[in-house]
Amino acid sequence: MSGLTHFDAAGNAAMVDVGAKPVTDREASARARVVMRPETLAVIRAGTAAKGDVLGVARIAGIMAAKRTAELIPLCHPLPVTSVRVELEPAEPDAVEIRATVRTSGRTGVEMEALTAASVAALTVYDMCKAIDRGMRVDGLRVVAKSGGKSGDFIAE
């Protein structure tokens, strides 16, 4: 399977051997957006959701998720995550913007950890508000920046 790193010569799924790669400082950021009714955003902003502080709980959920990425993604390496930052910002009139940034010093990047943090934070917003708005949707989950490693830096357009 040319170009894909998680397959062996016979086409079987395989974990990539990163043992010979140098340890470097690495960082990745991912974004997601939860789109909702304006009334739902107003409840979040006011802090009156029945389940509590939506943005605070989602922030903690994202941080916890980043640290457990290797347990969720089958071929993902467990990494010594050194920093996780999850920012959630209300975006008028009808969304919450999420940005997760993860850092490590290791042999492989933290893109999956950043994506996992952003997605779980978004799912937590949905979970905490679904009683008032089942029509919410999660949009735009993607890596927006990464640095470190042999492939160098990436910044999304």
Alpha helices in 10-157, H assignment, sequence order: 38-46, 54-67, 69-72, 111-129
- Residue 19 CB coordination number (10 Å): 6
Tokens representing 133 are 């708005």
pLDDT tens by residue, 53-92: 999 999 999 999 999 999 999 999 999 999 999 999 999 9
Residue (of 22, 37, 46) closest to 134 by Cα position: 37
Length, in residues, of the chain: 157
Predicted local distance difference test score (pLDDT) of residue 4: 65
Position 66, amino acid: A
Is the pLDDT assigned to residue 3 strictly greater than 70? no
Is the pLDDT assigned to residue 1 strictly greater than 60? no
pLDDT tens by residue, 13-23: 877 878 778 88
Predicted local distance difference test score (pLDDT) of residue 11: 80
Predicted local distance difference test score (pLDDT) of residue 122: 98
Distance CA 107, CA 19 (A): 7
Distance CA 13, CA 28 (A): 25
Catalytic residue among 127, 133, 139, 153: 127
**127 an active-site residue?**
yes
Query: Would you place residue 157 in the very low, low, confident or very high pLDDT band (cuts 50, 70, 90)?
Result: confident
